[in-house]
Chain A
Amino acid sequence: MHQVYQRRLTHSGSRFDHCEIGILRLRLLAGILFILILALPGRAQAPSAEEQQYLFSVLPLIERGDLTKAEDQIFAGLERYSRSAILYNALGIVYTRQNKLDKAATSFRRALEILPSFTAAQLQLAALDQRQGNKEEAVRLFRAAGDTTTNFEALVAAGLGLADCEDYAGAARVLEKAHEVKPDAESVTYNLALAQYKSGALTSALESLESITADRKPDVLYLRGKVLEGLGKPESISPIMAACGIQPGNDTFCADAAVNAIRQEKYLEAVAVLEPAIGKSSGSVALLSLLGLAQFRLGRYREAITSYTAALEKDPGVDASREGLGFLYYVTGNLEKARSIIEAGLKNPKADHYLAHLEAMVLYRASPRLRPQALDAVNRALQANAKFAPSYFLRGKIRMDQNDLSGALADFKRAVALDPKYPLPYYKMAQIYVRQGRAQEAAAARSTFSALGSRREEEILARQTQDILMPVSR
């Protein structure tokens, strides 16, 4: 069914592909192309009956894998029909199967010289070009084939070939033609919707999916969810959750379901999706981190610590798990543990900037005596990422404690310049202005602070962590 046309990128434990959805593969395409061995454009001159008869005598040899004999027999045929495009095409197929790709390409090109709009040869050569990294030429040939043929299989092959070359708009156009030929072919409709989704034509993708019955079809449910998500519809969560429910061992479906639930602050749903998914799979770092995040947001700190610890044990090199665990220990007041977790990660010179920021937060909270170390840590965080407003806010606080009011003020101003909706720096700015006797500026800063709202820092931090952890966990 639909699955055969798809390949999902395997979750490597760190990141998924941007879109998590792939389109058909070359092996399958080659199979289709073999079927299309005689696919010719409508207006092309048809090969003679003898030529065709001869070809049909060769095909069983190719199918059986008796390629040497097939090659010999084709050469014998070419002596008789020296300008036979279909025999050159067949020869190309034989060479392709023998992995003699240069010879194969030469054969397909010869077929196209003889019959320039020979669809099967166009598709075969395009597939070969694509396989050899010549994507531009492959796209040209797939498009040419798709534009000229009305053969359903050829259209499907051209559409999927274009999708493989990441020409999603082209793929959608060709698959649309295939869909018109066979509107009931659900696999084509699904791939059309997928190509539309990938080309950004979300509304069209949703319309295409309307004609497919999604019941118990996790791929279709998942795609529908992704399209709805792309359209900013909160109901996107339901089909993705359903997909995960049908295939709880599918990390992609379940991680995405959890991400959607967490984004919509439906933490109980996220946990309900993740726990069975982790039970079914071995529990990837992504799923465990997401579970930890949802548990944290539910106030299940002990469980969250367990989940993040498991994620970190699975792959100690993933900063996201370490940051999540460090942050949990930080907010639950176990600063010693937080510090040891974070500092272990900081031994890696490529550690994420947020880890250094977290270290600074921990040191700042742990003791006034550790202010110099906290300052050093936040400076390292800023070296790694000079555009992270909370680091300026934190450095401002440290400088304020050290009575460096002008330095603190500069940091708070930089923080709000980077993030104008960040309320907390205004509060500290107001305090500095009061200390400096700048009453009007203090009042203005207080007023801005009040207007922006005074959400709790840890709420803000939790969201920052969420924003940081979620993309990484995907």
Chain B
Amino acid sequence: MPTAMRWLPILSLTGLVCAVAFSDKWLVKFTDAAAKAGLPAVNISGSTTNKKYILEMNGSGLAFIDYNRDGYVDVFVVNGTRLEPSGEATRSTSHLYRNNRDGTFTDVTRDAGLDYSGWGQGACVGDFDNDGYDDLFVTYYGKNRFYHNNGNGTFTEIAEHAGVAGADGRWNSGCAFLDYDRDGKLDLFVANYVDLGLNFSNVPKPGSGEFCQYKGIPIACGPRGLPTAVNYLYHGNGDGTFTDVSEPSGIRKTEGHYALGVLTFDYDNDGWPDIYVACDSAASILYHNQHKGTFQDAGIASGLAYNEDGEAQAGMGVATLDYDHDGFLDVVKTNFSDDSPNVYHNNGDGTFSDQVFQAGLGRLRNLLGWGVIAADFDNDGWSDVLMVNGHLTPEIDSAKSDSSYRQPKLLYRNLRDGRFENVTSISGPALSTPHSSRGAATADLLNDGRLAILSNELHERPSLLIPEGPAANHWLGVQLIGAKSNRDGIGARVEIQSGALRQIDEVRSGGSYLSQSDLRLHFGLGAATRVDRMTVRWPSGAVDTLSAVPADRHIVIEEGTRSWRKPK
């Protein structure tokens, strides 16, 4: 149960105050700048037309990482491969694109030492050795890759040495760095999807059974009918290595799941990071941190395992936001088509209620959601929700259902009263252009307060959705640097107050669908030109309070200084 004080229910008052300044106009419009920006590499994920295995359908995530610490966030797009030799001259690799600070990028994959080919799944970022340079963990079907940032524009792969490579045949999916024991050293959680094994010959053929068809069309089997996999928690030892603590931590106690998206957040405001895992066709998992290095699955008890009635859904991506500003983080989860996503409202007592219909996100059942981002795209102080969608395989189109292989993205604007409005159609044609999207993340690429969206599109180059025009409203970007806490401040809770507007967020590794957004926090401030009061609750337990922070800039807060500075 929560030990922290709950904010008083001020929603109605806040709503009234904000209503004065609230503009009905939604001015945010996105343009797909990927081609012009120089993100040309096409996603590879098995066959483009005839997918025999589920491995070919799930696609990959992506990550924003400021790998060269120049203050501008760079792009890492995870890529898969093919099951059979394609005969093509080039092999597929993930791609690292350096931000040229002018809206363009340069592919530095090879120079950075990241030109590895495999079934890349997801990525997460964290400065695991606290050396000031963010490291990159990439999950694979097969052994994971852990790239230590050398600080000179290159990486060194250290997964085996660090003890986080896993084994061949494992299907690793979502990942996140966190400091679950708050010892200042980052730990690592790795979700696993299906125990596919090394030999695909045991996997039933498309159309061969109950779980190998979709609306009468033979498709690749799974995940139901295939063996479930188990998740992993690695404790950071502080010496460049990790220890697998999946058993003693209680992570392994939960079985029978097909785990995908990973979200770390402190759902009960007790100061300890919890882990929520979106699971496909099974109960989702809420690993509740017991503060002793152990976790207990509170999924069912909290209401986060299923939808409101106790039905398992096909969870894909997951995000958190405090959409009603009550001081507790709520959860949004994407699910399969013919279903609704979830908008889990945090009741503040350790339980959640699925409010998807009341919130207005339950209407479009034809879309299959993957990546999900909660961010304040119009900087009005209330987080909006973006979902990227796409079906499993092009064969779906032959079913002539309302669902299709390529699907539009969805952008929901927070109406500040517990409801959202679908603003996709008025947010520029780039959002409505259909793709079969998978991972998605957001970042302020030019440090100008405008949040861009990157989406990994199956068998296409990624979409880079850049907002047109200057930032609407005022904003503040916050980078934390831990001292006693982990250097990225992952797990730190930031609360800000500007006028009547109170917001919370946490520094987070991983999230969405197998993806990583900008580690820096982004707060929209509406009409406010400054943050009146800011409180940083560090994982170490230290609390820094700042006041009168001017808006429209990125700031850096170092643990214990109780002050802010400009980024170097």
Contact of A332 among B216, B308, B310, B365 (CB under 8 A): B365
Name the residue on B nearest A423 (C-beta).
B310
Cβ of A366 and Cβ of B357 under 8 Å apart? yes
Q: Please provide the chain B residues from 300 to 355 with a CB less than 8 Å away from any CB of chain A in the complex.
A: 300-301, 303, 306-313, 337-340, 351
Cβ of B366 and Cβ of A301 under 8 Å apart? yes
Residues of chain A within 8 A (CB-CB) of B248 are none
Contact of B339 among A334, A366, A454, A458 (CB under 8 A): A458
Cβ of B363 and Cβ of A424 under 8 Å apart? no
Tally of A-B residue pairs with Cβ under 8 A? Answer: 88
Whether A233 is near chain B, meaning CB under 8 Å from some CB there, is no
Name the residue on A nearest B308 (C-beta).
A397
Given the known inter-chain contacts A267-B216, A365-B357, please indicate yes or no for A300 contacting B401, CB distance below 8 A. Answer: yes
Q: Report the separation of the CA atoms of residues A124 and B402 in the bound assembly, to the nearest whole angstrom.
A: 62
Q: Report the separation of the CA atoms of residues A240 and B357 in the bound assembly, to the nearest whole angstrom.
A: 42
Cβ of B402 and Cβ of A300 under 8 Å apart? yes
Cβ of B215 and Cβ of A424 under 8 Å apart? no
Residues of chain A within 8 A (CB-CB) of B364 are 333
Q: How far is the CB of B333 from chain A (nearest CB, A)?
A: 14
Query: B42-70 interface mask toward A, CB cutoff 8 Å, 1 = contact, 0 = none?
Result: 00000000000000000000000000000
Q: Report the separation of the CA atoms of residues A331 and B402 in the bound assembly, to the nearest whole angstrom.
A: 13
Contact of A333 among B311, B362, B402 (CB under 8 A): B362
Name the interface size band of chain B.
20 to 34
Whether A431 is near chain B, meaning CB under 8 Å from some CB there, is yes
Name the residue on B nearest A331 (C-beta).
B365
Name the residue on A nearest B360 (C-beta).
A333
Q: Report the separation of the CA atoms of residues A428 and B366 in the bound assembly, to the nearest whole angstrom.
A: 28
Q: Report the separation of the CA atoms of residues A183 and B364 in the bound assembly, to the nearest whole angstrom.
A: 62
Query: A375-414 interface mask toward B, CB cutoff 8 Å, 1 = contact, 0 = none?
Result: 0000000000000000001000100000000000000000
Cβ of B310 and Cβ of A428 under 8 Å apart? yes
Given the known inter-chain contacts A332-B363, A333-B364, A456-B339, please indicate yes or no for A299 contacting B300, CB distance below 8 A. Answer: no
Whether B476 is near chain A, meaning CB under 8 Å from some CB there, is no
Query: A444-466 interface mask toward B, CB cutoff 8 Å, 1 = contact, 0 = none?
Result: 00100100001111111000000
Cβ of B300 and Cβ of A266 under 8 Å apart? no
Whether B400 is near chain A, meaning CB under 8 Å from some CB there, is yes
Cβ of A427 and Cβ of B300 under 8 Å apart? yes
Cβ of B399 and Cβ of A299 under 8 Å apart? yes
Whether A181 is near chain B, meaning CB under 8 Å from some CB there, is no
Residues of chain A within 8 A (CB-CB) of B306 are 427, 454
Given the known inter-chain contacts A333-B364, A427-B309, please indicate yes or no for A434 contacting B402, CB distance below 8 A. Answer: no
Contact of B310 among A266, A300, A427 (CB under 8 A): A427
Contact of B309 among A299, A430, A457 (CB under 8 A): A457
Whether A302 is near chain B, meaning CB under 8 Å from some CB there, is yes
Q: How far is the CB of B237 from chain A (nearest CB, A)?
A: 36
Chain A: residues with Cβ within 8 Å of the partner, total of 39
Residues of chain A within 8 A (CB-CB) of B215 are 267-268, 297-299
Contact of A299 among B308, B340, B358, B366 (CB under 8 A): B366
Residues of chain A within 8 A (CB-CB) of B337 are 299
Cβ of A430 and Cβ of B357 under 8 Å apart? no
Cβ of B358 and Cβ of A368 under 8 Å apart? yes
Cβ of A431 and Cβ of B399 under 8 Å apart? no
Given the known inter-chain contacts A299-B215, A299-B366, A331-B365, please indicate yes or no for A456 contacting B403, CB distance below 8 A. Answer: no
Whether A237 is near chain B, meaning CB under 8 Å from some CB there, is no
Most buried by B among A298, A335, A456: A456
Q: Please provide the chain B residues from 191 to 225 with a CB less than 8 Å away from any CB of chain A in the complex.
A: 215-216
Whether B283 is near chain A, meaning CB under 8 Å from some CB there, is yes
Whether A367 is near chain B, meaning CB under 8 Å from some CB there, is yes
Contact of B358 among A267, A302, A367, A458 (CB under 8 A): A367
Most buried by B among A298, A332, A423, A426: A298
Cβ of A298 and Cβ of B216 under 8 Å apart? yes
Cβ of A333 and Cβ of B365 under 8 Å apart? yes
Q: Please provide the chain B residues from 152 to 186 with a CB less than 8 Å away from any CB of chain A in the complex.
A: none
Q: Report the separation of the CA atoms of residues A332 and B309 in the bound assembly, to the nearest whole angstrom.
A: 17
Query: A327-354 interface mask toward B, CB cutoff 8 Å, 1 = contact, 0 = none?
Result: 0000111110000000000000000000
Contact of A454 among B216, B283, B357, B363 (CB under 8 A): B283
Residues of chain A within 8 A (CB-CB) of B308 are 397
Q: How far is the CB of A133 from chain B (nearest CB, A)?
A: 50
Cβ of B357 and Cβ of A335 under 8 Å apart? yes
Q: How far is the CB of B320 from chain A (nearest CB, A)?
A: 22
Residues of chain A within 8 A (CB-CB) of B402 are 299-302
Q: Report the separation of the CA atoms of residues A266 and B217 in the bound assembly, to the nearest whole angstrom.
A: 10
Q: How far is the CB of B304 from chain A (nearest CB, A)?
A: 12
Residues of chain B within 8 A (CB-CB) of A334 are 363
Cβ of A457 and Cβ of B303 under 8 Å apart? no
Residues of chain A within 8 A (CB-CB) of B303 are 431
Given the known inter-chain contacts A298-B401, A434-B301, please indicate yes or no for A456 contacting B312, CB distance below 8 A. Answer: yes
Query: B115-153 interface mask toward A, CB cutoff 8 Å, 1 = contact, 0 = none?
Result: 000000000000000000000000000000000000000
Q: How far is the CB of A422 from chain B (nearest CB, A)?
A: 11
Name the residue on B nearest A453 (C-beta).
B312
Residues of chain B within 8 A (CB-CB) of A365 are 357, 362
Q: Report the separation of the CA atoms of residues A94 and B516 in the bound assembly, to the nearest whole angstrom.
A: 96
Most buried by A among B215, B300, B301, B307: B300
Given the known inter-chain contacts A302-B402, A368-B358, A446-B300, please indicate yes or no for A268 contacting B311, CB distance below 8 A. Answer: no
Q: Report the separation of the CA atoms of residues A459 and B365 in the bound assembly, to the nearest whole angstrom.
A: 13
Extra inter-chain contacts (20) besides given A299-B366, A335-B357, CB under 8 Å: A267-B216, A269-B216, A298-B216, A299-B337, A299-B403, A332-B365, A333-B357, A365-B357, A366-B357, A397-B308, A397-B309, A424-B311, A427-B300, A431-B301, A431-B351, A449-B310, A456-B307, A457-B307, A457-B310, A458-B339
26 contacts between A and B (CB under 8 A): A266-B216, A268-B216, A298-B215, A298-B216, A298-B399, A299-B401, A333-B362, A333-B363, A334-B363, A365-B362, A366-B357, A368-B358, A424-B310, A426-B310, A427-B309, A428-B309, A431-B301, A431-B351, A434-B301, A442-B301, A446-B300, A449-B310, A454-B283, A454-B310, A455-B312, A458-B311
* Residues of B participating in the A interface, judged by any CB pair closer than 8 Å: 215-216, 283, 300-301, 303, 306-313, 337-340, 351, 357-358, 362-366, 399-403
Please name the 8 residue pairs, one residue from A and one from B, whose CB atoms are nearest each other, closest first. A427-B310, A333-B363, A299-B401, A456-B311, A268-B216, A454-B312, A457-B309, A365-B357
